[in-house]
Each structure stands twice: as C-alpha cells, then as structure tokens.
Amino acid sequence: MLTISQLAAYAGVTVRAVRHYHAKGLLPEPERDSSGYRRYDAGAVVELIRIRTLADAGVPLSRVKELLAAGEEEFAAAVAQIDKRLRAEIRERQQHRERIAQLAAGDSLALPPEAVAYLDRMRELGVPERMIEGERDAWILVAAQLPERMEAYIQNKQDQLDDPSIADFYRELDDILEWAPDDPRLPALADRLVAQFEAVPDEDWRAFAEDPGMTDDLVALLDRWFLSRVRIAAPLIELLEERGWRGWTKLERIEAR
C-alpha cells in the first residue's frame, strides 16, 4: 500500500495535484488506516496516470471523468472534439503571436509601407519624434477608412517634403505645440499658414475638395483629433477663418460675399 507521496511519485504528479483530483471527484479518496493515513493501491496509480495523461493532453478536467468512463466509440468522438478545440486554440494563439510581432514593428502596425516610408523620411530630415507620432496617428485614422487612397495621399506628402521649408516648418511646429492658447505669436502663425495655403494652385484645392473619400464623418473625426491633441488648435482655426480659410483637415477658401 502506498502513501499519498508515493502515489504522486509513481504517477509523476505532485501531492497537491492528487488532492486537487480528489476535490474534483476524479480520483476516489481511500479510507484512512488505523494511523489516520490514506493508503493507495496499484489501481489508484493506474487511475491517476490515466487522469494525468488526459490532463496533459489538454482535456479539461470537467471532461476527464466522462472520458474515463466512456466506451471506445464515445471516447474517440470526444477526443476528436477536443482535438478540434485545441487546433482552434492553436490558430488563435498563432494569430496572437503574429499580432505581437506587429506590435514590435512600430509604425507598420496599422500603416501601409508607403506611409511607413514617409514617416522614416521625416525622421531622416530631423523632424522631432513628437511631430512624427502625431502624423502617424492621423494617418492611422485615414488608412483605416481609405486604404485604397493611401498611396496617392502619401505621394502628395512626399512631394511636399521635397521643399526644404516644409521640413523646417515641421521642426518649428514642435515648439509651437507648447504655446498657450492665448500666445501673442498666434496671429503671425496664422498669417504664415495662410501664405502657404494661397501658394497652392487652385486646381489642387479643387481636387482635394472633390475627393470622395474624405467624407464629412472622417473630416470631423480628424478635426476632433487635432483639437484634442493641440492646445492652440481652436484659436488657430478661428484666426484662419478670420483670414478667409475654413476648417483644418479639409481646408476651404471662404468665398467673399
């Protein structure tokens, strides 16, 4: 006859596991001997090994008792069902691993390659990381809604970076983000932006205004993102409107009445 420690050792489990199987009703508890100890026979070892084997194979403990008592056909059907569940779990875990790998990939997590290349170019030009992160988050919002338009949008942004003054302006904007909403330099900033807007050919503004992908909902979402991230956004938009330009994501010239 065996003690609980010896039983556990024979079956390759811990004493704690044996007690857990007792609590679950999987392994019957023997009567105690005159010394107050439980004693196990060889049959208990066999039963415990069978329980351990099923548990190690991924069978839920809630089904182990059922399988131990099942006939051959019933056992085979149950094992097939469990195998199907395990394969589904493996696929799910593989998908989790792929997602984790994407997380490690940084910008490419939710952006197409052309957008990643654009952000990398900004870094090469010395644009501060905070500005790049802001661009990245805005493009994530656009890419989720308009993946088919991203290549054209990003090419336009790449063309803008060919102008050295644009990269210079991005670097300045990193300091501007620290301005208070009542900063006295805001009117001059608005004047500078308007000058940049008016340097863009009218046909480019028309093409952007007529872009069917830039729905009102998406424009509103991007505008809210800008307003929530930039302290000077609201007063700056007001100053631009005073100078004849409305909006932010989808700028439009206000027609004189």
123 and 144 assigned to the same domain: yes
User: Domain check: are 156 and 134 in the same one?
Assistant: yes
Residues paired with 246 in a beta bridge: 252
| Contact between 111 and 140 (Cβ < 8 Å) | yes
- What's the CA gap between 160 and 125, in Å, rounded? 13
Task: Look up residue 252 and give its DSSP letter.
Answer: E
- Give the whole-angstrom CA distance, residue 64 versus residue 50: 9
Number of Cβ atoms within 10 Å of the Cβ of 116? 18
- Same domain as 129, residue 80: no
The average pLDDT across 228-247 equals 92
Verify that 98 and 151 share a domain, yes or no.
no
State the Cα torsion 112-114-119-122 to the nearest 10°.
Answer: -170
Judged against a pLDDT cut of 80, whether residue 248 lies above it is answered with yes
- Residues whose CB falls within 8 Å of the CB of residue 244, separated by 6 or more in sequence, listed in order: 194, 253, 254, 256
Q: 3-class SS at 40? A: strand
Residue at which a domain ends, from 54, 74, 103 = 103
CA distance 213 to 114: 18
- Give the CA count within 13 Å in the CB-facing half-sphere of 183: 17
Confidence tier at 184 by pLDDT (50, 70, 90)? very high
At 185, list the tokens. 């330099």
**Are residues 114 and 87 part of one domain?**
no
The pLDDT tens digits of the residues spanning 121-174 come to 999 999 888 888 888 989 988 998 899 999 999 998 999 899 888 888 888 888
Whether 227 shows a pLDDT value over 80: the answer reads yes
Residue that is last in its domain, among 49, 79, 103: 103
Domain boundary, last residue among 103, 120, 152: 103
Judge if 235 and 131 occupy the same domain: yes
Residues 3 and 39: beta-carbon distance below 8 Å: yes
Number of domains within the chain: 2
Residue 89 pLDDT: 84
Count CB neighbours of 200 within 10 A: 12
Say whether both 58 and 161 belong to one domain.
no
Tell me, what CATH number does 45's domain have? Answer: 1.10.1660.10
Q: pLDDT tens digits for 190-201? A: 999 999 888 888
Name 138's Cβ contacts closer than 8 Å, sequence gap at least 6: 222, 225, 226
pLDDT score recorded for residue 38: 84
Q: What is the pLDDT of residues 37-94, one digit of tens each?
A: 888 888 899 889 988 888 888 788 888 888 888 888 887 887 788 888 888 888 888 8
Q: Evaluate if residue 233 carries a pLDDT over 90.
A: yes
Task: At 207, list the tokens.
Answer: 């093409």
**218-245: burial string, b at 16+ Cβ within 10 Å, e else:** beebbbebbeeebbbbebbbebbeebeb
Cβ within 8 Å of residue 239, ≥6 positions away: 186, 187, 189, 190
- Confidence at residue 257, expressed as pLDDT on a 0 to 100 scale: 47
Domain boundaries, position 137: 107-253
207 and 113 both lie in a single domain: yes
Is there a single domain that holds both residue 146 and residue 88? no
User: Residue 241's pLDDT is what?
Assistant: 94
60: tokens are 């839920």
Q: Does one domain contain both 123 and 244?
A: yes
User: Is the confidence at residue 102, as pLDDT, over 90?
Assistant: no
Residues 187 and 210 in one domain: yes
Q: How confident is the model over 17-52, as pLDDT tens digits?
A: 999 999 988 888 888 888 888 888 888 998 899 888
The answer on 219 and 116 residing in a single domain is yes
